[in-house]
């Protein structure tokens, strides 16, 4: 299944960038084109379980995700249920002199009908996820 890495440079300090990228509570409000629905199920310290409706390119995914944060260095999302169970997205935030570098590792996994659709579809997940990241970058720089 799709596995790729992306890198972004954001013209803002690491704490502010981390706050925007890792604040899943606000995804529905700040980027509804990608996250039309987000519902928090549990929060304990730096670990949260969240129901998410994610639009990635032309695919709509309904997922249950565990978010793990190590502020302001790391945000990881592990899909524990739904259309992409077993997927992982890791975002590492590196402080630069004039901004923040974000290293993103994405490992998508799909099951059942979704897997068949992915195998025979013309999806470019790397580009689709890059589009999501670009929208986050725009928010972080404003």
Q: Looking at the predicted structure, is the pLDDT value of residue 140 above 90?
A: yes
Using DSSP's 3-state secondary structure scheme, residue 101 falls into strand
Tell me the CA end-to-end span of the chain in Å, nearest whole number. Answer: 35
What's the rounded Cα separation, in Å, for the pair 53 and 55?
7
pTM: 0.90
Say what percent of the chain tops pLDDT 90.
82
Per-residue pLDDT reduced to its tens digit, 13-50: 999 999 999 999 999 999 999 999 999 999 999 999 99
Domain annotation for the chain: domains and CATH numbers: 3-141 (3.30.530.20)
Beta carbons within 8 Å of 131's beta carbon, 6+ residues apart: 57
Per-residue pLDDT reduced to its tens digit, 50-107: 999 999 988 899 999 999 999 999 999 999 999 899 999 999 999 999 999 999 999 9
């Amino acid at each position: 299944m799709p596995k790729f890495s992306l890198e972004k440079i954001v013209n803002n300090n690491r704490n502010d960038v981390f706050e925007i990228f890792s604040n899943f509570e606000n995804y529905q409000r700040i980027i509804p084109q990608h996250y039309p629905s987000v519902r928090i199920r549990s929060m304990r310290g730096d670990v949260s379980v969240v129901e998410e409706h994610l639009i990635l390119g032309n695919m709509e995914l309904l997922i249950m995700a565990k978010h793990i944060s190590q502020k302001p260095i790391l945000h990881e999302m592990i899909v524990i249920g739904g259309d992409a169970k077993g997927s992982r997205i890791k975002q590492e935030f590196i402080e630069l002199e004039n901004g923040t570098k974000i290293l993103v590792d994405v490992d998508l996994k799909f099951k059942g009908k979704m897997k068949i659709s992915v195998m025979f579809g013309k999806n470019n997940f790397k580009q689709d996820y890059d589009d999501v990241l670009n929208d986050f970058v725009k928010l972080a720089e404003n």
